[in-house]
Protein backbone atom coordinates (compact mmCIF):
# COMPACT_ATOMS: atom_id res chain seq x y z
CA UNK A 1 0.00 0.00 0.00
CA UNK A 2 1.37 3.41 -1.00
CA UNK A 3 1.18 6.15 1.62
CA UNK A 4 0.79 9.78 0.66
CA UNK A 5 3.17 11.98 2.61
CA UNK A 6 2.19 15.60 2.96
CA UNK A 7 4.08 18.32 4.86
CA UNK A 8 1.16 19.04 7.19
CA UNK A 9 1.15 15.40 8.38
CA UNK A 10 4.89 15.20 9.06
CA UNK A 11 5.00 16.29 12.70
CA UNK A 12 5.04 13.29 15.08
CA UNK A 13 5.01 10.81 12.19
CA UNK A 14 6.93 7.58 12.82
CA UNK A 15 9.56 6.04 10.53
CA UNK A 16 11.68 2.89 10.35
CA UNK A 17 15.14 2.98 8.81
CA UNK A 18 15.53 0.25 6.18
CA UNK A 19 19.26 -0.03 6.99
CA UNK A 20 19.63 0.88 10.70
CA UNK A 21 22.95 2.22 11.92
CA UNK A 22 24.17 2.25 15.53
CA UNK A 23 20.97 0.46 16.64
CA UNK A 24 18.96 3.48 15.47
CA UNK A 25 16.03 1.88 13.69
CA UNK A 26 12.94 3.81 14.79
CA UNK A 27 12.55 7.56 14.33
CA UNK A 28 9.93 10.24 14.92
CA UNK A 29 9.62 13.63 13.25
CA UNK A 30 9.98 16.07 16.15
CA UNK A 31 10.11 19.43 14.37
CA UNK A 32 8.84 20.88 11.10
CA UNK A 33 9.23 24.53 10.10
CA UNK A 34 7.39 26.16 7.23
CA UNK A 35 8.00 29.34 5.23
CA UNK A 36 5.31 31.95 4.47
CA UNK A 37 4.07 29.90 1.49
CA UNK A 38 3.67 26.77 3.58
CA UNK A 39 6.75 24.99 2.21
CA UNK A 40 8.86 22.93 4.57
CA UNK A 41 12.14 24.71 5.26
CA UNK A 42 13.36 22.45 8.07
CA UNK A 43 12.54 18.94 9.25
CA UNK A 44 14.10 17.18 12.24
CA UNK A 45 13.81 13.49 13.12
CA UNK A 46 14.84 11.91 16.41
CA UNK A 47 16.09 8.38 16.95
CA UNK A 48 13.80 6.79 19.54
CA UNK A 49 16.52 4.72 21.21
CA UNK A 50 19.36 7.27 21.39
CA UNK A 51 17.39 10.58 21.23
CA UNK A 52 19.86 11.78 18.57
CA UNK A 53 18.34 14.47 16.37
CA UNK A 54 19.02 14.72 12.64
CA UNK A 55 17.96 17.44 10.23
CA UNK A 56 16.79 15.90 6.95
CA UNK A 57 15.10 16.85 3.73
CA UNK A 58 11.51 15.71 4.36
CA UNK A 59 11.26 14.40 0.78
CA UNK A 60 13.95 11.81 1.62
CA UNK A 61 11.31 10.07 3.75
CA UNK A 62 9.50 9.17 0.51
CA UNK A 63 12.41 6.92 -0.56
CA UNK A 64 11.29 3.32 0.19
CA UNK A 65 14.90 2.10 -0.08
CA UNK A 66 15.78 4.23 2.96
CA UNK A 67 12.58 4.69 5.01
CA UNK A 68 9.36 2.84 5.80
CA UNK A 69 6.37 4.69 7.23
CA UNK A 70 5.51 3.59 10.76
CA UNK A 71 7.50 1.43 13.16
CA UNK A 72 8.09 -2.02 11.69
In a domain, 60, yes or no: yes
* pLDDT, tens digit (0-9, with 9 covering 90-100), for 13-40: 999 999 999 999 999 999 999 999 999 9
- Rounded Cα distance between 54 and 43, Å, is 8
How many distinct structural domains can be found in the chain?
A: 1
In a domain, 72, yes or no: no
In a domain, 12, yes or no: yes
Please give the model's pTM, rounded to 2 decimal places.
0.90
- pLDDT for residue 4: 74
User: CA–CA distance from 63 to each of 40, 43, 51, 56 (Å)?
Assistant: 17, 16, 23, 13
Structural domain of 36: 7-66
Q: How confident is the model at residue 1 (pLDDT cuts 50, 70, 90)?
A: very low
Amino acid sequence: MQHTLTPRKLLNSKWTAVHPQSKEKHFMVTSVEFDEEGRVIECTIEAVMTKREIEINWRDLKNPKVWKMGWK
